[in-house]
Structure 1
Amino acid sequence: MPEPDDQRLYFLLQRAAHRLRTTADRRCLAAAGVTTAQLGALFAVRDEPGITQQRLARALGLRESAVTALVGRLTAAGLVSKSAHPREHRAVVLELTVPGADALRAAQPEIDRFNAELREVLGDDGFAGAATAMHRLAHWEP
C-alpha cells in the first residue's frame, strides 16, 4: 500500500474517525443498546458522580446544547438520573443509574474486542503512538 500524502492527513483523519465511529456505534448498540457518544457520557458520569451538565460538556468537548440533548436521551432511557444541584439553583447533577451501570458492563467486552482489533491493525507501538498523537490533537490549541 502506498504511503499517504501528508497533504491528505486531515482527510484521512476524518475518514478514519468516521469508520471507527460507525463501526464502534454499531457494535455498542448491539451489545449494550447505546452509542459511543452515550458511552462516553456514561463513563464520565460514573467517574465523577454528581457531575453537572456544564462539566460534562467540558469533559466530552461538546457544546452545552449538545450535552442537554444527550442527557435528555440518557435520562429518557433510564441510564442517568438528574437532580437539583445543592448550591446552584439552575444547575442539575447527574448520577449513573443501575441500568446505566449495566450498559457500561455490557459494552465493556465489545470495547475490549474493538481495542484488540485496533492493536492488531496498528501493532502495539502504533496503537500507543496513535493514542498519544490523538490526545495531543484533541488538546491542541492553535
Structure 2
Amino acid sequence: MPESDQRLFFLLQQAAHRLRVAADRRCLAAAGITTAQLGALFAVREGGLTQRDLAARLGQRESAVTAMVTRLVEARLVAKQPHPREHRAVVLQLTAAGEEALTRVAPEIEEFNAQLRAVLGEAGFRQTAEAVGKLAREEW
C-alpha cells in the first residue's frame, strides 16, 4: 500500500482539526458560538426537530446533543416547545437571538469559504465539497 494511502486518514483528521479550531475561533468571536453549536442552529432553523432528530442529523449521541441543547436554551438561542403529538417530547425552535447569531456569523463563514477557495481553487473547492459530503453520508 502506498504511503499516501496510509496517510490519507491522518491528513483528513489533521485538516479537520485545524479547520475546526480556526472556525471555532472565528464563530466564537463573531457570535459567541462554536461550530458544533452553529451546525445545531442551522438544523434547528429548518424546523420541527426533536432532540433525537437533532442527534441523528448531527451524527452525535443523544446525551451529547442534550448537553448542547441545554447550553443553547440557557443562552436563549433555542427554545423548547411541547411536541404536538408526543407528550414527553419537545420541538426545538430557533429564537430571535439564535437567528441573530446566525446573521452575525454569516460573514465569517463566507470569509472562511473564500479562503478555502483560494487554497483549493474553485473546481477543487467543488470537488472537495462533493467528496467530503459523500464521506459524511457514508455508513461506516
Give TM-score, length-normalised by structure 2: 0.95
| Unmatched runs of 5 consecutive residues or more in structure 2 | none
User: Residue type matched to 1:127 in 2?
Assistant: F
Alignment coverage as a number of residue pairs: 138
Does residue 1:55 correspond to 2:53, yes or no? yes
Partner Cα separation in structure 1 for residue 94 and residue 135 of structure 2: 30
- Which structure 2 residues correspond to residues 1-142 of structure 1 after superposition, within 5 A? 5-47=4-46, 49-142=47-140
User: Residue type matched to 2:28 in 1?
Assistant: L
Partner Cα separation in structure 2 for residue 141 and residue 88 of structure 1: 29
Partner Cα separation in structure 2 for residue 139 and residue 95 of structure 1: 25
Secondary structure of residue in 2 paired with 1:50:
coil
| Unmatched runs of 5 consecutive residues or more in structure 1 | none
> Cα RMSD (Å) of the superposition?
1.1
Partner Cα separation in structure 2 for residue 10 and residue 38 of structure 1: 25
Q: How big is each residue's C-alpha offset from its partner over 1:92-123, in whole Å with a ceiling of 9 and x where there is no partner?
A: 10111010000000000000000000000011
Give TM-score, length-normalised by structure 1: 0.93
Secondary structure of residue in 2 paired with 1:5:
helix
Partner Cα separation in structure 2 for residue 40 and residue 110 of structure 1: 14
After TM superposition, the structure 1 stretch with the greater mean CA deviation from structure 2, 78-87 or 105-114, is 78-87
State the Cα distance separating 1:51 from its structure 2 match: 1.2
Q: Percent identity?
A: 65
